[in-house]
A and B are shown apart, each in its own frame.
Chain A
Amino acid sequence: MPAIPLLSPSRDFTRNVGITDAHEQRRNSVMMRTVRRGSWIVPACAATGVLTILLLVMGAKGAEISQTLSLGVGIIGCLISVYFQKTEAPLPSLQSWWYWLLSAVPLAILAVAVGWWFFIHKPDENVTDLVQISVSNEAAGDQSKAKGDQPEVIGDQSKVILTLPLENGSAAGFVRDNLALTLRLVNTKTVGNCVTPATLDITPKLDGKDGDTVKGVRSGKEVLLPLEGSKRQVKAEIVVHLPDPSCTVNLTVSEAVLFN
Chain B
Amino acid sequence: MVRVGQKAAMVAFILLASACASNSPPPQQQSPFPKETIFVGVTPDHPGFSTEEPGTARRTGFDVDLARWLASRLNKKARFVDITLEERMEVLEKPSSGIDMVISTFSINDDRRDVIDFAGPYMITRQGVMVRKGDDRIKDFESLTSNNRNICVPRGTTSEAQLASFKKSGLILTDEIAQKNCFSRLLDGQVDAFSTDQLILHGFATEAPSKTHVTDVSFGAEEQYGIGLPNNDRAKCEVITRLLQQFIDEGEWEDVLAQNLGLEEPQNHKPFKLDPCE
Residues of chain A whose beta carbon lies under 8 Å from any beta carbon of chain B: 1, 3-6, 63, 66-67, 70, 74, 77-78, 81-82, 85, 87, 92, 186-187, 189-197, 218, 243-244, 246-247
Contact = CB atoms under 8 A, between A and B. Distances in A.
B267 interface: no
Given A87-B3, A246-B222, A192 B110 contact: yes
A196 B275 contact: yes
Given A66-B18, A218-B276, A194 B110 contact: yes
A87 B7 CA distance: 14
A182 B8 CA distance: 41
B110 A193 contact: yes
Kindly name the residue among B5, B109, B161, B275 whose own CB sees the greatest number of chain A CB atoms within 10 A: B109
Contacts, number: 87
B18 A70 contact: yes
Nearest to B224: A193
8 contacts: A74-B11, A78-B7, A78-B8, A191-B221, A192-B221, A193-B110, A244-B222, A247-B221
- Chain B interface residue bracket vs A: 20 to 34
B158 interface: yes
Kindly name the residue among A67, A85, A187, A243 whose own CB sees the greatest number of chain B CB atoms within 10 A: A243
Contacts of A218: 276
Nearest to A186: B110
B118 to A, nearest CB: 8
Interface string B113-134: 1000000010000000000000
Nearest to A91: B1
Contacts of B162: 191
B278 A4 contact: no
Interface string B32-62: 0000000000000000000000000000000
B111 interface: yes
Contacts of B73: none
A6 B4 contact: yes
B4 A82 contact: yes
Given A81-B4, A190-B109, A74 B12 contact: yes
A197 B108 CA distance: 11
Contact of A196 (B15, B18, B221, B278): B278
Contacts of A197: 273, 275-276
A194 B162 CA distance: 15
B270 to A, nearest CB: 14
B19 A67 contact: yes
A189 B5 CA distance: 65
Contacts of A247: 221
A70 B275 CA distance: 40
A4 B4 contact: yes
B220 interface: yes
A133 to B, nearest CB: 20
B275 A193 contact: yes
Interface string B61-81: 000000000000000000000
A81 B161 CA distance: 67
Given A77-B11, A92-B1, A246-B222, 20 more contacts: A1-B5, A3-B5, A4-B4, A67-B19, A78-B8, A82-B4, A82-B8, A189-B221, A191-B109, A191-B221, A192-B110, A192-B222, A193-B108, A193-B221, A196-B275, A196-B278, A197-B273, A197-B275, A243-B222, A244-B222
Nearest to B120: A193
A192 B109 contact: yes
Contacts of B224: 193, 243-244
A191 B220 contact: yes
A41 to B, nearest CB: 15
A244 B7 CA distance: 61
A85 B3 contact: yes
A182 to B, nearest CB: 15
A192 B108 CA distance: 7
A37 to B, nearest CB: 14
Given A3-B1, A218-B276, A190 B111 contact: yes
B5 A4 contact: yes
Contacts of B221: 189, 191-194, 244, 246-247
A92 B1 CA distance: 9
A6 B1 CA distance: 6
Contacts of A196: 110, 113, 275-276, 278
B110 A78 contact: no
